[in-house]
């Protein structure tokens, strides 16, 4: 159950109340008295996490001058193009847009993207704190504790970039908020992993990668490279943990996980329609959805597919594609993303994505 609370907020009043959102869940906090370290892949991952920590205050150059319009122009080549194609449709809600409006879309889009990254990072912080409590294995509790620190750092860097360099931010996207609420109100411990580590973080890893390749703004580029190094470990944490657990589930239990994963995937795609941005631009988001579904521009299709480049191979590794008569395989085939199934899964590739270590080796050499 989710509540926007007025009673649980202590002595908060007025404006401050709008700044909090409470989610309640009937979860069991698990102690384990078995301190034996037996899960080698998780032990290795934990060691890696300890040596690859970085400090957002000192490892990034916050004195960098950022020109929001230039950043927007670069991102616009990949981002705004998805929406510009909508103008060609009959009765399009953006038919009247000229250069000035599209330029503004570029700026708003970058702001909206980074704002949703920031909110998503807070979701990761809370979900991983939940996993520390609920996962029954000591090796996983150790690792999850390092991820909590990582996620705090990620919220910190996106919030600081938005505040100091872009000067404005968006509230959380309704689709993203719904996903985070669903994950956090579910009492099953593996659902926090599946929703956050596999789906939300898997998609974030792909999205950060796209943005990192496109932008030449040095602060944002380095920030994304470093956040991605951490995210690769987080997705690996999900794969390595659930792989073991999902082997024991029945087909019916796997089917529940498949349906949950697919529902999250669809809502994650919707979040990249940026409803909150269109509202700010004075355009009805529903009209954007309708036109998007009708036109389905090629740039949008490619973008939506690329977002699944990490999710699909990771779902395969967990046995989720083919369990329960291949239900999820069919769904991923229908939405045109099954071609990623044999791409490298993140359980294997995380160590090659450690940009923090690469920078350190380069500077000591």
Cβ-based nearer residue to Fe ion, 12 or 129: 129
Q: Which stretch binds Fe ion (CB under 5 A): 56-64, 113-121, 236-244, 331-339?
A: 113-121
Instruction: Give kind and range of the element (H or E) at residue 3.
Output: strand 2-3
Q: How far is the CB of 153 from Fe ion (least distance, A)?
A: 8
Four-point Cα dihedral 129, 122, 222, 359, nearest 10: 0
Distance set, CA 299 to CA 77, 168, 237 (Å): 10, 27, 32
CA nearest to 92, candidates 344, 278, 291, 229: 291
Q: What are phi and psi of 310, to 5 degrees?
A: -100, -35
> By C-beta, is 108 or 151 nearer to Fe ion?
151
Q: Per CB under 5 A, which region of 199-207, 212-220, 242-250, 321-329 contacts Fe ion?
A: 199-207
Site string for Fe ion, 159-198 (x = CB under 5 A): ----------------------------------------
Residue 231 binds Fe ion, judged by CB under 5 A: yes
Residue 322 backbone phi and psi in degrees, to 5: -105, -5
CB of 208 to Fe ion, least distance (A): 9
Q: Please report how close the Cβ of residue 234 comes to Fe ion at its closest, in angstroms.
A: 4
Q: Map residues 41-80 to x or -, x wherever contact with Fe ion holds by CB under 5 A.
A: ----------------------------------------
- The one-character DSSP state at 86 is G
Coil, strand or helix at 318: coil
| CA 244/CA 318 separation, integer angstroms | 8
Burial of residue 15, with CB atoms counted within 10 A of its CB: 0-12 exposed, 13-18 middle, 19 or more buried: exposed
Which residues 245-304 are close enough to bind Fe ion by CB under 5 A?
none
What is the C-alpha to C-alpha distance for residues 189 and 130, in angstroms, rounded to an integer? 8
Please report how close the Cβ of residue 131 comes to Fe ion at its closest, in angstroms.
11
User: By C-beta, is 144 or 254 nearer to Fe ion?
Assistant: 144
Q: Does 234 bind Fe ion (CB under 5 A)?
A: yes
Q: What dihedral do alpha carbons 282, 287, 291, 297 form, nearest 10°?
A: 40
139 binds Fe ion (CB under 5 A): no
Residue 75 CB, nearest approach to Fe ion (Å): 20
Which 3 state secondary structure label does DSSP give 251? Answer: helix
Residue 217 makes contact with Fe ion by CB under 5 A: no
CA distance 352 to 363: 18
Q: Contacts by 285-291 with C-beta closer than 8 Å and gap 24+?
A: 287/93, 288/83, 288/86, 288/93, 288/94, 291/86, 291/89, 291/91, 291/92, 291/93, 291/94
Q: Exactly one of 141, 153, 154, 317 binds Fe ion (CB under 5 A); which one? A: 154
Q: Kindly tell me which residue out of 60, 71, 85, 124 binds Fe ion, with binding defined by CB under 5 A.
A: 124
Nearest distance, CB of residue 3 and Fe ion, angstroms: 26
- Shortest distance in whole angstroms from residue 237 CB to Fe ion: 9
Q: How far apart, in Å, do the first and last CA atoms of the chain sit?
A: 54
Nearer Cβ to Fe ion (108/231) = 231
Question: Total residues contacting Fe ion (rule CB under 5 A)?
Answer: 7
121 binds Fe ion (CB under 5 A): yes
Residue 310 in contact with Fe ion, rule: CB under 5 A: no
Q: How far apart are CA 33 and CA 35, in angstroms?
A: 6
Of 121 and 276, the one with the shorter C-beta distance to Fe ion is 121
Which residues are 3's β-sheet partners?
22
Q: Which is nearer to Fe ion, 194 or 292 (CB)?
A: 194
144 counts as binding Fe ion under rule CB under 5 A: no
Which residues here bind Fe ion, judged by CB under 5 A?
A: 121, 124, 151, 154, 201, 231, 234
């Amino acid at each position: 159950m989710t509540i926007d609370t007025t009673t649980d907020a202590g002595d908060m009043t007025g404006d401050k109340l709008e700044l909090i959102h409470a989610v309640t869940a009937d979860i069991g906090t698990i102690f384990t008295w078995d301190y034996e370290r037996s899960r080698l892949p998780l032990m290795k991952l934990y060691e890696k996490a300890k040596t690859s920590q970085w400090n957002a205050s000192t490892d990034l150059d916050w004195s960098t001058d950022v020109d929001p319009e230039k950043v927007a122009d670069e991102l616009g080549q990949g981002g705004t193009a998805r929406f510009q194609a909508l103008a060609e449709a009959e009765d399009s809600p953006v038919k009247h847009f000229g250069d000035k409006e599209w330029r503004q879309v570029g700026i708003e889009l970058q702001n909206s993207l980074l704002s949703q990254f920031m909110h998503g990072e807070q979701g990761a912080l809370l979900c991983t704190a939940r996993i520390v409590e609920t996962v029954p294995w000591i090796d996983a509790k150790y690792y999850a504790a390092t991820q909590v620190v990582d996620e705090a750092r990620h919220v910190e860097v996106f919030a600081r970039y938005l505040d100091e360099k872009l000067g404005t931010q968006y509230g959380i996207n309704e689709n993203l908020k719904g996903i985070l609420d669903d994950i956090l109100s579910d009492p099953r411990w593996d659902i926090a992993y599946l929703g956050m580590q596999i789906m939300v973080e898997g998609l974030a890893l792909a999205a950060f990668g796209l943005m990192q390749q496109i932008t030449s703004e040095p602060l944002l580029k380095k920030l994304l490279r470093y956040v991605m190094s951490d995210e690769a470990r987080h997705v690996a944490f999900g794969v390595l943990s659930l792989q073991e657990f999902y082997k024991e589930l029945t087909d019916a239990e796997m089917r529940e996980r498949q349906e949950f994963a697919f529902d999250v995937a669809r809502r994650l795609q919707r979040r990249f329609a940026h409803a909150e941005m269109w509202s700010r631009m004075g355009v009805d988001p529903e009209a954007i959805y309708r036109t998007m579904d009708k036109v389905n521009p090629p740039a949008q299709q490619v973008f939506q597919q690329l977002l699944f480049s990490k999710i699909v191979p990771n779902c395969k590794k967990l046995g989720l594609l083919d369990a329960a008569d291949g239900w999820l395989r069919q769904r991923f085939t229908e939405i045109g993303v099954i071609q990623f199934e044999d791409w490298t899964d993140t359980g294997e590739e995380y160590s090659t994505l450690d940009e923090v270590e690469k920078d350190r080796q380069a500077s000591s050499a």
